[in-house]
Amino acid sequence: MHALQYWPFLIPVAALELGLMLIALIHMIRRGRTRTLNTGIWAVIIILFSLIGPVLYFIIGREED
Amino acid sequence: MHSLLTFTAKELKEQFKTFKGVIVFLVLIIFGMTSPLFAKLMPDLLRMAGTGTIIQVPTPTYLDAYAQFFKNIGQLGIIVLILVFSSGIVTETLKGTAQIMLTKQLSRSQFILSKFFADVLVWTLSYTVSAALCVIYTVYLFPGDRPGHLFLALFCMWLYGCLTIAAVILSGTLFKNYALAAVGGFVIWGLINLSSLLPKIKDGAPSVIGSANMDLISRHLSSSAMRMPVLTACLLIFLLLTCACLYFRRREL
């Protein structure tokens, strides 16, 4: 399959998206609370919507220090 | 000048501490890598997703890669910039940290400018890495093609980001609420984009720097045609920041 020959290019993209997701999840678990919704719903949003989920969490879900 | 630099550095540290800088950086890098990649893979992806119907897809070129990049950065990237940076001034004024800083040697104008410079630095760093990755990926995936005014097209998009940040800074001084500051940022950004619809100024409108990038790369537009839009964009950035400083000086904190 032609598309599969480009897998070395896809790995960094997947790694960055996974990294962003992990940063958001770890931040939320350490903080233990969120500004809007609850932590369970945010965990689902972060995991299900890669890229958009973590970005939304840091913009509207993250509890300030 | 010294206090402006100090607070810009402090602001820059804060951007990464609060993950705002990290979000912008990672999102733009992802756009930089995925744009040429998806342009290259799109015919295969469409074929794989096909349900038996024959889809005629033209062979992708480097133009598709750059078109994808400028579309992603000019729309989604700018939306992320507005959402991330619109809360900056509001947070400081609501938490009371702005008042603490302003009692030190920092003037209100310097406070606004330090916010602007820190946001522009985050945008510049993220955009430079993103654009470099996009160019590297495109050169590798579409070898042999020579784009037109690539550097000017990339510079114009960078300036468009700076213009958006200036709009967001003005919105942050006008409103005392996170949501309103973000909505205000979108409204000012929308008004700037609408300027190109006015027939008398459409060729020199500042929003041209965010929409004519592909015409530059495909050589449909000469570099001299961008002189006026770049100039008006710089003037508008100056005007937006002046308005923000003047309003913030008189505003009750």
Instruction: Tell me, letter by letter, the H, E, C secondary structure of A1-62.
Output: CCHHHHHHHHHHHHHHHHHHHHHHHHHHHHHCCECCCCHHHHHHHHHHCCCHHHHHHHHHHE
Both tokens of residue B227?
A: 């002189």
Give pLDDT, residue B134: 95
| Cβ contact B241:B108 at 8 Å | no
Show the tokens assigned to B85: 């940076």
Mutation to test the A interface, candidates B13, B34, B122, most A Cβ within 10 Å: B34
Nearest CB neighbour to A59, from listed B22, B30, B84: B84
The predicted model gives A29-44 an average pLDDT of: 89
Contact B213, B203 (CB under 8 A): no
Is A1 part of any domain? no
In this predicted structure, what is the pLDDT of residue B53? 67
What phi and psi values does residue A22 have, to the nearest 5 degrees? Answer: -65, -40
Closest CB to B27 among A23, A27, A51: A51
The verdict on residue A5 lying in a domain is no
Mean pLDDT by 10 residues, chain B (253 residues): 83 86 92 92 76 72 92 93 90 83 83 94 96 94 84 95 96 90 94 87 87 89 91 96 93 79
The token pair that represents B241 in the structure block: 């920041």
Domain assignment present for residue A26? The answer is yes
For the cut 70, the answer to whether the pLDDT of residue A65 exceeds it is no
Q: Smallest Cα–Cα separation from B83: which of B140, B23, B14, B156?
A: B23
Give the model's pLDDT for residue B124. 97
Q: Is residue A44 part of a domain?
A: yes
| CA–CA distance, A6 with A10 (Å, rounded to integer) | 7
- What is the interface pTM, i.e. ipTM, of the complex? 0.85
State the total domains in chain A.
1
pLDDT of residue A3: 61
Closest by CA to B76, choosing from B116, B113, B118, B24, is: B24
Supply the pLDDT for residue A50. 84
State residue B196's pLDDT score.
83
Looking at the complex, report in whole angstroms how far the Cα of residue A50 sits from the nearest Cα belonging to chain B: 11
B48 has a chain A CB within 8 A of its CB:
yes
Instruction: Measure the CA–CA gap between A48 and A20, rounded to whole angstroms.
Output: 13
pLDDT at B234: 96
- A-to-B residue pairs, Cβ atoms closer than 8 angstroms: 52
d(CA B251, CA B99): 12
Looking at residue B169, what is its pLDDT? 95
pLDDT at position B92 is 85
**Domain span at A31:** 11-61
Q: Cα(B119)–Cα(B48) distance, rounded to whole angstroms? A: 41
Residue A2 falls inside a structural domain: no
Q: Would you state the structure tokens that stand for residue B6, as one six-digit string? A: 């100090």
Q: How far is CA B250 from the centre of its chain?
A: 28
CB contact under 8 A, A6 and B137: no
